[in-house]
């Protein structure tokens, strides 16, 4: 079967289990999940969906999210959209409007706070930038290695340009995405944000100081673009239609541009500097403790959706220092999950269903994709999720300790984790030393996660309930492949 046929088969297997094309209100995807807006949640066959070999788990948030893994989801989503479009009947404008209103009302009815909605908007601005951050980060790492070795001196300047070009203009992309997310004209958001990186701002004085290109960074670009959106909306409301095409974009760039130059750049620059200084101070003075807390609490933050607040912080640190010292520490949370999963595998020798789930999910776990292990193993079992977080805490504490001793370990991009982060590592010491410290943190997370789960992750009742012979649940799938076992039901610990 070709790759296209395989992706089409996966999409075809999923569609009937989520209620068919008529039940799909929206389709989107992130790095690992197919995100569906459903018209009727009750039509979804959860267990059958989880049993599909290609499905690593499901998550319910503002959308119904099916975990397919990195790479796969980007290829399956277009096939899924094509199937939905092909099966969708024609609707009147009133019917479509009613359906849209129903979906919007259902989403609002979910347990959403204004703060979480704001964080989701922030994530929507920065997440589309991750592929470029990863690609440029890896090129930067390769270029640094070649420079240190003295190889290919005629090529390294070109690699440096490739690695640095995106970061030099990242404020423009942030402004573009911000305006798009907040309902403005994207190009106007990008135009206002471009002021921040324009070399000519070095000739301007604000608050008694000469501005510097890039001052304020991505935070300034975000603020400038939000302001541009509000100015544009005001203009659309009050400017006559005959003059709108000339007046609105002019006033939008002029007003928000002046505020950006004579206000936002200075303020955002001070905030950005404070973020970098605080991160450096925290790890220099309380590195082990800070790493322990961050590594241990990161997965609960992910479960609550609060981790999205860290995205602009990571981006600001990368923009300022060339790498973020927080990501390698937070990546230890995944190491704790891997160690815990191995312990669960050994503690439940008779439960073939859970053991098969772990065997299929471990490779992704080592590469930093922890969702299959979280939602398929540790979280449903309860206590192993807690002991996995303990493993992440010790891994984070290990890396934090070396930061405290003066050995910074950072990542030049956000997104990857686990072993996939090795090509993106950077720091203030040699690359070999940086890699060794990160590897040591991973080993600490694996080991403590395993030990904590093996000895304290199971009560007697939990073992009696789950260490039993199981048979795979046969579920017919459209792709014709064998059914995967069901994940364990959540239990009280």
- Which residues are designated catalytic? 30
Across 161-299, where does the E strand assignment appear? 205-206, 209-210
* Assigned token pair, 23: 């039940």
Q: Compute CA 34 distance to the chain's CA centroid, rounded to the nearest angstrom.
A: 14
Q: Which bin fits 323, alpha (ψ -120 to 50), beta or left (φ > 0)?
A: beta
Per DSSP, what are the bridge partners of residue 393?
none
Contacts (Cβ under 8 Å, ≥6 apart) of 66: 14, 18, 33, 34, 36, 49, 55, 58
Q: What is the DSSP letter of 52?
A: S
Helical pair 311-321 and 114-126, crossing angle rounded to 10 deg: 40
Per the listing, tokens 């505020």 go with 259
At residue 325, what are phi and psi to the nearest 5 degrees?
-80, -10
> E-strand spans in 43-83?
57-60, 64-67
Query: What would the two tokens of residue 118 be?
Result: 């704001």
The count of residues in the chain is 493
DSSP secondary structure string for all residues of 125-141: HHGGGHHHHHHHHHHHH
Helix and strand numbers, DSSP H then E, in the chain: 21, 8
- DSSP, collapsed to helix, strand or coil, labels residue 15 as helix
CA distance 224 to 250: 15
Angle between helices 265-304 and 332-347 (to 10 degrees): 10
């Amino acid at each position: 079967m070709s790759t296209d046929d395989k992706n089409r088969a996966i999409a075809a297997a999923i569609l009937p289990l989520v209620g068919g094309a008529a039940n799909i209100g929206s389709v989107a995807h992130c790095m690992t999940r197919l995100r569906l807006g459903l018209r009727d949640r009750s039509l979804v066959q959860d267990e059958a969906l989880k049993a599909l070999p290609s499905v690593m788990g499901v998550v319910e948030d503002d959308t119904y999210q099916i975990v397919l893994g990195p790479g796969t989801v980007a290829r399956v989503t277009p096939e899924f959209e094509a199937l939905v479009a092909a099966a969708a009947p024609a609707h009147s404008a009133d019917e479509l409007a009613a359906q849209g209103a129903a979906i919007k009302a259902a989403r609002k009815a979910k347990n959403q706070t204004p703060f979480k909605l704001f964080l989701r908007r922030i994530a929507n601005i920065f997440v589309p930038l991750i592929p470029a951050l990863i690609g440029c980060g890896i090129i930067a790492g390769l270029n640094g290695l070649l420079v240190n070795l003295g190889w290919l001196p005629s090529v390294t300047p070109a690699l440096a340009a490739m690695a640095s070009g995106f970061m030099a203009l990242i404020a423009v992309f942030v402004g573009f995405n911000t305006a798009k997310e907040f309902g403005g004209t994207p190009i106007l958001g990008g135009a206002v944000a471009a002021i921040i990186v324009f070399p000519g701002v070095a000739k301007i004085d604000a608050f008694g100081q000469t501005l510097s290109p890039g001052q304020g960074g991505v935070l300034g670009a975000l603020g400038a673009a939000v302001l541009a959106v509000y100015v544009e909306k005001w203009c659309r409301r009050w400017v006559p239609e005959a003059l709108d095409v000339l007046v609105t974009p002019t006033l939008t760039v002029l007003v928000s541009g002046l505020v950006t130059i004579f206000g936002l750049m200075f303020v955002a620059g001070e905030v950005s500097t404070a973020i970098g200084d605080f991160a450096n101070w925290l790890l220099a003075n309380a590195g082990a403790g800070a790493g322990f807390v961050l590594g241990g609490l990161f997965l609960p933050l992910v479960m609550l959706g609060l981790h999205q607040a860290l995205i602009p912080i990571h981006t600001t640190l990368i923009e300022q220092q060339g790498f973020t010292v927080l990501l390698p520490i937070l990546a230890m949370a995944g190491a704790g999950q891997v160690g815990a999963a191995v312990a669960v595998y050994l503690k439940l020798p008779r439960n073939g269903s859970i053991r098969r789930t772990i065997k299929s999910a471990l490779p992704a776990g080592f590469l930093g994709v922890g969702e299959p292990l979280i939602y398929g193993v540790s979280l449903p079992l309860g206590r192993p999720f807690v002991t996995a977080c303990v493993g992440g805490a010790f891994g984070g504490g290990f890396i934090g300790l070396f930061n405290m001793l003066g050995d910074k370990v950072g990542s030049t991009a956000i997104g990857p984790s686990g072993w996939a982060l090795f090509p993106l590592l950077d720091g203030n010491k040699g690359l070999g030393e940086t890699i060794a410290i990160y590897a040591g943190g991973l080993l600490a997370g694996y080991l403590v996660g395993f030990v904590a789960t093996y000895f304290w992750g199971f009560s007697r009742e939990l073992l009696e309930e789950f260490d039993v012979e199981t048979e795979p649940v046969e579920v017919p799938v459209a792709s014709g492949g064998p059914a995967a076992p069901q994940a364990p039901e959540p239990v009280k610990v």
